[in-house]
Structure 1
Amino acid sequence: MELTRESLSEELVKDIKPINNVRTDESYSFFNQFIIDDKVIKVYESKILIDDEWDKFVTGINDSCLHQLSGWADVKSSEGWDFIRFIYTQDNIIIGGYQILIKNFPFIGKIAYLNHAPVTQIQNYEFVKKLIEDFRIIIKKIGIRLAIISPPFNNNILVDELTTRFDRNIFFNVINAEAEMDLSADENTILKNMLRMRRQNISKRTTYNYHIFEGGEEHLETFFKLMSDTCQRNNVKPNPSSLAMVKKIWNYYHYKNLLNLYLFSINNEIVSAILAFEYQDRFIPWKFGWSGKYAKFKPNDIFHWELIRIAKQKGFKKYNLGGVNLSTAEKLSSLNKNLNEKELKSATFYKMGFGCYIRRLPDSVVHIPNPVLRALYKFYLSLNKSKLILKKKFRINLNAH
């Protein structure tokens, strides 16, 4: 792919919100500056935990990630994650940046996680190159042993540069595909695109009375109990890990009108609950809990169907069911649906059964600052695939998103 060299002109930054007060005090610390196409770009470290100006910038970038908002750094601090955030400005306007989460892991040391970032809409080779160079300098300066980078979805030059300069990730489980539904179709078409068993389950909605309503902060404890019970039945740990974390997420995202809680009741009993992000053009049922009751009524299939209808009514264009196993999802999307028993019982099978397409995300990469360890890692990657034990075993759930 040929890398373009567009200038950092007013045309490129006209829609980005300006920073009103970039100061060299406890809020913003000057880091460096450089010149591209006769434009001076100044870089600052944002030292405040909740940075409204950064948040305005992130939400204004199409397909940006909710986890790049400053409130996520506050949320993850409850699990021992620290953060560092750098912003790039031209004429006092934010044009790019990244928020890095940092945590000390036993036997490994400091790990950095860059989730769907750097954030920028500028597709300029020199600017992208400087973003990455600064990132490497920062990572080395703060003593990071390993950095995991999940590239952004919306910047081809940035994705190409990250995947060229860094190595593919075989250490950590990072989502590289999501199940997503196009809400522009009418309801009959959406139903037709689902697996027959999903349509049959949804058809049970006419056989009993149920009620769906939006919950408030007073329902968060109920949601967490349902989610915890669901996790226990599936032998996994709840994430978020505590009611306190759920409340912290709620206090930040709900009051920015980015998060809502939906509850499903039968006979005045709350049976299921879904915490859903409502961000840009996507409705994202993020976390889910079910009591396990009324299974024969298929409440959860009906719950999702009603949320699909609610999302359409609210004007969202996509219904995103979150991460899926790419291999299983591709089988379901092909004519040859030869799935094994494990795949048939998987979350991927459930999600794709709603007639979703695969939203492919850029593969994650890693950067190891130590040159000796980096060389050893590259050598390990060069071995025959059958010897790459870490590709199938010992992979770590990062739990930073």
Structure 2
Amino acid sequence: MNITHTHSPRVVPSTDPRDPEWDAWVARHPQPHPEQSSGWGDAQRIRGWEPCRWTLREGDRLLGGVQVLVRPAPRLGHVAYIQRGPLLLEEAAHLAPLLLQTLRTAAAQRRWAYLSMVLPYQGGPSEAALRAAGYFPQPALLPPQTSEAATLVVDLTPPEEEILARMRRTTRRYIRQGQERGLLIRSGSESDLDTFGQLMLALCARRGVRSNIPAGEFLHRVWQAFHPGGHIRLFLAQHDARPIAGLIVLALGTWARAWRIGWSGEAPDLRPNESLYWAAMRWARESGHRHFDFMGFETNLARALAEGRQPSPSSLSSLAQFKLGLGGIPMVLRPFQCRFFHPLVQLLLRAGGHRLLDWPPLRRLLPRRLLAGAHAG
């Protein structure tokens, strides 16, 4: 049902580094993504991103809004990045074009060359509104190339025994054996973040990938943004009084999200990661959250499972087996969207030139900063 207008809807810029009213609204939204909070945007400044924010209002009532991260790109002007937005109340979905027009105006005024939009899990602008505003599904060549296009979600509303029963039998055994063999799971504080950062980098090194967030000061900024409201939790697995693995959870509204994990590789027989995730799920459930999000899963596998196709266990990666063992339900997310703002580029794309963006040799022609620097983690 559409809103009955007593005031004309309007878009208002939010210029303060922290916006408590917006953050409280994001936390109440059915899709409360932490990347849309002002604290997240403020933390990203240390990485060279400048947050911009607009709220959609009718009178004094907040109906929606969007936070955009912007950074300079050599020879291009600026690149802009929306993580899990725009957010809109369901009853205000028809006002999405007003927000999209605001972004177009900002792009012209602030010299944005390119915008990448990673949509909320559900809701946000419709496909028709995005097409009408010049957006198109983002080719794999363009950034961000590491955001998840699928995820797993655990329903936290049943009793603990039922949540455990949905896990694989081997996963339940690993959790029980960890407890029996002296693995301790404890809550961490800001003083443990540097240790966690080393665990995170160690896990990335073993997987042969680069971490898309830095350890060190950035972790502290994120902690300082979310800890005062109780929206961040660090879990550490200890063996012989030494942390060997850790998990950071970001929690807003009804959702708790496994944001980052780290593991030194020590004591693999104790399976510390299964125990970490179970401790995080228990805490999230006891804290009133209803969904536990793994924040990433193999897209093709998620699509197959959602369609009822069961792959053979031998075809699954160890990471996929680990996550599926914890009982999550696959969710395939909406395709990323993007838009170029130069009129000639837009004309070329409308003529079918977007197919060139799927051409691998084009990677050599695009600025490295555009390809590598547009993911905000």
**TM norm structure 1:** 0.81
Query: Following TM superposition, by how much is the alpha carbon of 1:73 offset from its aligned partner in structure 2, in angstroms?
Result: 1.5
CA shift for structure 1 position 158:
4.0
Q: Please point out which of 338, 341, 352 is paired with 2:324.
A: 352
Q: Could you tell me how far apart the structure 1 residues matched to 2:45 and 2:317 are?
A: 37
TM-superposition CA deviations, 1:222-256 (whole Å, max 9, x none): 11121122222223223430311111111110111
Mapped contact 1:253–1:259 kept (Cα < 8 A): yes
Q: Please tell me the residue identity of whatever aligns with 2:137.
A: R
Q: 2:261 corresponds to which residue?
A: 288
Indicate the residue corresponding to 1:224 in structure 2: 197
Q: Identify the match of residue 339 of structure 2 among 344, 352, 367.
A: 367
Q: Which residue of 2 aligns with 1:15?
A: none
Quote the RMSD (CA, aligned, Å).
Answer: 2.8
1:138 aligned residue: 106
Q: Aligned in 2, Cα 1:285/1:73: closer, same or farther, shift over 3 Å?
A: same
Give the counterpart letter for 2:310 in structure 1.
Answer: N
Measure, in 1, the Cα distance between the counterparts of 2:132 and 2:110.
24
Q: What residue in structure 2 maps to residue 168 of structure 1? A: 137
Displacement of 1:338: 4.0
Following TM superposition, by how much is the alpha carbon of 1:125 offset from its aligned partner in structure 2, in angstroms? 6.0
**Bigger mean CA deviation after superposition, 258-267 or 40-49:** 40-49
CA–CA separation in structure 2 for the residues paired with 1:156 and 1:84: 18
Which of 292, 308, 318 aligns to 1:319? It is 292
The equivalences for 1:65-214 within 5 A come to 65-106=33-74, 108-124=76-92, 127-155=95-123, 158=126, 160-163=128-131, 165=133, 166-170=135-139, 171-172=142-143, 173=145, 174-205=147-178, 207-214=180-187
C-alpha contact (below 8 Å) 1:332/1:349 kept by paired residues: no
Q: Does 1:252 align with 2:225?
A: yes
Task: Tell me how far 1:389 sits from its aligned partner.
Answer: 3.6
Q: What is the identity, as a one-letter code, of the residue corresponding to 2:311?
A: K
Structure 2 Cα separation of the partners of residues 290 and 108 of structure 1:
39
Deviates more, 1:46-55 or 1:246-255: 46-55
Query: Structure 2 regions of 5+ residues with no counterpart?
Result: 365-370
Q: Counterpart of 1:212 in 2: which secondary structure?
A: strand
Change (3 A) 1:41 1:62: same
Q: Deviations over 1:328-386 (max 9, x none)?
A: 22345544314776x523x3443233221122322111111123212333414458xxx
Distance 1:279 1:131 in 2: 23
Tell me how far 1:307 sits from its aligned partner.
2.5
Deviations 1:313-334 (A, max 9, x none): 3332222111112102234554
Counterpart code for 2:270:
F
SS in 1 for 2:9: strand
Q: CA deviation at 1:63?
A: 0.9
Of 105-114 and 44-53, deviating more is 105-114
Return 160-169 or 78-87, whichever deviates more. Answer: 160-169
Instruction: Give, in whole Å, the separation in 2 of the partners of 1:146 and 1:392.
Output: 16
Conserved 8 A contact 1:82-1:102: yes
Residue 396 of structure 1, CA deviation: 5.4
Inter-CA distance 182–175: structure 2 relative to 1 (3 Å threshold):
same
Shifted more, 136-145 versus 301-310: the winner is 301-310
The answer as to whether partners of 1:123 and 1:155 remain within 8 angstroms in 2 is: no
Question: Does the 8 Å contact 1:64/1:153 carry over to 2?
Answer: no
For residues 125 and 261 of structure 1, the distance between their equivalents in structure 2, rounded to whole angstroms, comes to 35
CA offsets 1:184-230 (integer angstroms, 9 cap, x no match): 23444434433454344334235412221111122112111211222
- Are the structure 2 counterparts of residues 380 and 204 from structure 1 closer, same or farther at C-alpha, using a change threshold of 3 Å? farther
Instruction: Please say if 1:336 is aligned against 2:326.
Output: no
Q: Between Structure 1 and Structure 2, how many residues are aligned?
A: 364
Give the letter aligned to residue 221 of structure 1. D
Which fold has the larger relative contact order, with Cα–Cα distance below 8 Å and residues 6 or more apart in sequence? Answer: 2
Shift of 1:288: 1.0
CA distance in 1 between counterparts of 2:194 and 2:347 reads 49
Could you tell me which residue of structure 1 aligns to residue 375 of structure 2? 399
The question of whether the paired residues in 2 share the 8 Å contact of 1:152 and 1:159 is answered with no
Using the TM superposition, give the Cα deviation of residue 121 of structure 1 relative to its aligned residue in structure 2, in angstroms.
Answer: 0.6
Identity %: 21
Q: Is the 8 A contact 2:213 2:376 kept in 1?
A: no
Alignment gaps of 5+ in structure 1: 10-36
| Greater shift in the superposed pair: 303-312 or 44-53 | 303-312
Counterpart Cα distance in 2 of 1:103 and 1:146: 11
* SS of structure 2 residue aligned to 1:337: coil
Residues 316/229 of structure 1: CA separation in 2 closer, same or farther (3 Å cut): same
Shift of 1:168: 0.7
1:38 deviates by: 5.0
Deviation at 1:160, TM superposition (A): 4.4
Normalising to structure 2: TM-score of the pair?
0.86
CA distance in 1, matches of 2:280, 2:6: 50
DSSP-derived class of the 1:241 partner = coil
Q: Partner of 2:13 in structure 1? A: 45
Q: Does the residue aligned with 1:145 lie in a helix, a strand or coil?
A: strand
Partner residue of 2:278? 305
Q: How far has the Cα of 1:134 moved from its partner?
A: 1.8
CA distance in 2, matches of 1:106, 1:353: 45
Alpha-carbon distance in 2 for matches of 1:189, 1:94: 38
1:388 aligns with 2:364: no
Supply the distance in 2 between the matched residues of 1:205 and 1:164 (Cα, whole angstroms): 54
2:326 aligned counterpart, secondary structure: coil
Q: Distance in 2 between matches of 1:74 and 1:206?
A: 39
